Chain A
Amino acid sequence: MSSAYADQKNVPIDAPLVLGDPTFGDITESVGVITETKAPVMWFLLVGFFASLAAVLGGSVGYLFWEGTGIWGLNVPVAWGWAIVNFVWWVGIGHAGTLISAILFLFRQRWRTAINRFAEAMTIFAIICALVFPMIHVGRVWVVYWTMPFPNQMGMWPNFRSPLLWDVFAVSTYFTVSLLFWYVGLIPDLATLRDRATTKVRKVMLGIFALGWRGSNKQWKHYERAYLILAALATPLVLSVHSVVSFDFAVSQLPGWHTTIFPPYFVAGAIFSGFAMVMTLAIVARKIYHLEHIITINHLDVMNKIMLATSLMVGYAYSCEFFVAWYSGNEFEQFAFINRATGPYAWAYWIMITCNVFIPQFLWSQRVRRSIPIMFVITIFINIGMWFERFVIVVSSLANDFLPSSWGYFTPTVWDVLTYVGTFGLFFTLFLIFLRFLPMVAISEVKGVLPAAKPTHHGHGGDDSHMAKVTAGNS
């Protein structure tokens, strides 16, 4: 790698975001070429593998529809199991994409340009995976549309006081806004690819989705205003969606769920797990597609810092729950938390603590933050830990509630596992298709953070080369 700062202790604040001093044309070339060349055999093998996994999801869901939710390990008292755990986990993962693309945009964090496209795609695919679960877990899937409020001959409406309904709105709004935001961001890049296209099919397909983009000054002006508005719309969603998801639990009266800390705690956890997933994917993709000069080690370093910060937040939330349980003087509340750490689900609790609180502490060290293999392992641990966090919340609270006589122990069945594993198939199939057919880095935005994009820039080789770069950028 040609990183000038890879080994330095202190990265200067004005360090170039893109390494190797590329021209506009170089950026277009290195990102665009991935979508234009023939896919390697490995890609087909991977798509084949993950599509088969997605078929496993389809099969499991088909059997679920045929047989009913009895094929899962659910039973009273644990009537919410992996479906809800997986739903919350997947939705949470999506949040990093929105944070990177919207909040970091509003805060003018220019380093986001390298990863935002990528992270937004992850958001959309994660929400798709998440949405599978609320739809299939209802038992009577053929009337799942009853969750939407619409006038009908039954005169029946969903319960507007139920957080489960707020959830339907929150997540569907989130999906719509994320998709729009992603698509609007894609338009200039699709136009770039359209102009580079050599076949008729590519020209027409990309031409349709580029919506006639020509890169005129007027178009850019409208585009940037639209992007800003969408960023402003998406920003509250980063906080609201997972807050509403947490209401599913917090609004109930079950010890372990009924806590006011849930909304911020869930949002922090969502961003934590989302960043871990972005990192996991980015580390692999930048290596395979030779984008190390765009998604640099500095980017990974910054994301590691965000993971460390959010890890401390969830760690604080875990301890705060214990404090409030003690401080409340409520013995059921106290039992719920002591039982989590020492009861039948202590193993899950300590996996969660280890993965989410202990292991991320390594990120205090800059050497760890800049070591690709170590951070990769850490992100995997965080992904696992955040799944267990939701498992601990959902299952341990239900399994041991007020009445010891009604206690139970949840054991997943093979269908629980296959459904969950299957969503990875869906997720990675979609993601691999995205990597192959769409520019995985926001070309136009990365160009915007190059030195050549500054009004004060005069190029290195005289006016001619500067003009050449600008032309390349517009091509």
Chain B
Amino acid sequence: MAQIFPKWTLKLPIYILLAVGFLSVNGVAFIWYYASPNYTDVGYRPKQPVAYSHKVHAGDLGMDCRYCHTGVETSAVAGVPPTETCMNCHTTVLPNSEKIAPVLESFTTGNPLQWVRVHKSPDYVYFNHSAHLRAGVGCESCHGNVRQMEEIEQKEPLSMSWCLDCHRSPEQFLRRPDQVTVMDWVAPDDQEEFAKNVIAHKDIAPPKDCSGCHR
């Protein structure tokens, strides 16, 4: 009886096996790297309506974060400042600068500046800035060293497992209240002991159940 398949098909099973092995290993590796928020989200730096530099304001001039982000200690959202906050200084500081023009325009017309949000959490996540500040988590832990950023970009993945890492063992991230806005913070030598005390004293128990953040 004539052969149905040519001779080279004898090698097909081994080729198929190799292909399946190759594709599955590479498929997993591809998704592992490219579908991770470390790739998809970290480094997000959208174009803002104003060439505002955090490096100049918070870094070189040394302004406190809370001068603009006023809600951070008292409410869920830190808040983006209204144009009026800018104008507290910029009525006298560089009022004619080209970079300030959109701010001036917003101030005269009353139309707020359309800042683009960089750090997003999903609608079903109930994140509260004040709770984290009260516990003593520094701004830097989530937002990176803002004092060195010309334009704000996302430095951390903000994924759920990233949140949970800290919720499960917050010891390395708790600071003294006067240190929360410090950038390039280095944990003191007695960090472990300090964290133990502060956890006991403030009764810090970060929720690890679903409803802690998803209600």
A positions within 8 Å CB-CB of B: 152-156, 194-195, 203-204, 207, 212
A153 touching B37, Cβ below 8 Å:
yes
Q: Which 3 A-B pairs have the closest CB atoms?
A: A155-B161, A154-B160, A153-B159
Q: Which residue of A lies closest to B35 (CB)?
A: A153
B window 1-46: CB within 8 A of A: 1, 4-5, 10, 36-37
Q: Which residues of A contact B161 (CB under 8 A)?
A: 152-156
Q: Which residues of B contact A154 (CB under 8 A)?
A: 159-161
Cα–Cα distance between A203 and B157 once the two chains are bound (Å): 55
Cα–Cα distance between A212 and B5 once the two chains are bound (Å): 9
B164 CB within 8 Å of chain A: yes
Q: Which residues of B contact A155 (CB under 8 A)?
A: 159-162, 164-165
B214 to chain A, nearest CB (A): 11
A156 touching B1, Cβ below 8 Å:
no
Interface CB pairs A-B, < 8 A, 21: A153-B36, A153-B37, A153-B157, A153-B159, A153-B160, A153-B161, A153-B162, A154-B159, A154-B160, A155-B159, A155-B164, A155-B165, A156-B160, A195-B1, A203-B4, A204-B4, A204-B5, A207-B4, A207-B5, A212-B5, A212-B10
B4 touching A194, Cβ below 8 Å:
yes
How would you classify the secondary structure of chain A's contact residues: helix, strand, loop or mixed?
A: loop
Cα–Cα distance between A212 and B159 once the two chains are bound (Å): 50
Q: Which residues of B contact A153 (CB under 8 A)?
A: 36-37, 157, 159-162
Beyond the given A153-B160, A204-B4, A204-B5, please list 19 additional residue pairs across the A-B interface where CB-CB is below 8 A. Answer: A152-B161, A153-B36, A153-B37, A153-B157, A153-B159, A153-B161, A154-B159, A154-B161, A155-B159, A155-B160, A155-B162, A155-B165, A156-B161, A194-B4, A195-B1, A203-B4, A207-B4, A212-B5, A212-B10
Q: Which residue of A lies closest to B161 (CB)?
A: A155
Q: Which residues of A contact B164 (CB under 8 A)?
A: 155
Cα–Cα distance between A155 and B158 once the two chains are bound (Å): 12
Interface centre among A153, A155, A156, A207 (most CB of B within 10 A): A153
Cα–Cα distance between A155 and B159 once the two chains are bound (Å): 8
Cα–Cα distance between A154 and B157 once the two chains are bound (Å): 11
B window 77-99: CB within 8 A of A: none
A356 to chain B, nearest CB (A): 41
B67 to chain A, nearest CB (A): 34
Binary contact readout B158-186 vs A (1 if CB under 8 angstroms, 0 otherwise): 01111011000000000000000000000
Q: Which residue of A lies closest to B167 (CB)?
A: A155
Q: Which residues of A contact B159 (CB under 8 A)?
A: 153-155
Binary contact readout B139-153 vs A (1 if CB under 8 angstroms, 0 otherwise): 000000000000000
Q: Which residues of A contact B5 (CB under 8 A)?
A: 204, 207, 212
Cα–Cα distance between A194 and B4 once the two chains are bound (Å): 10
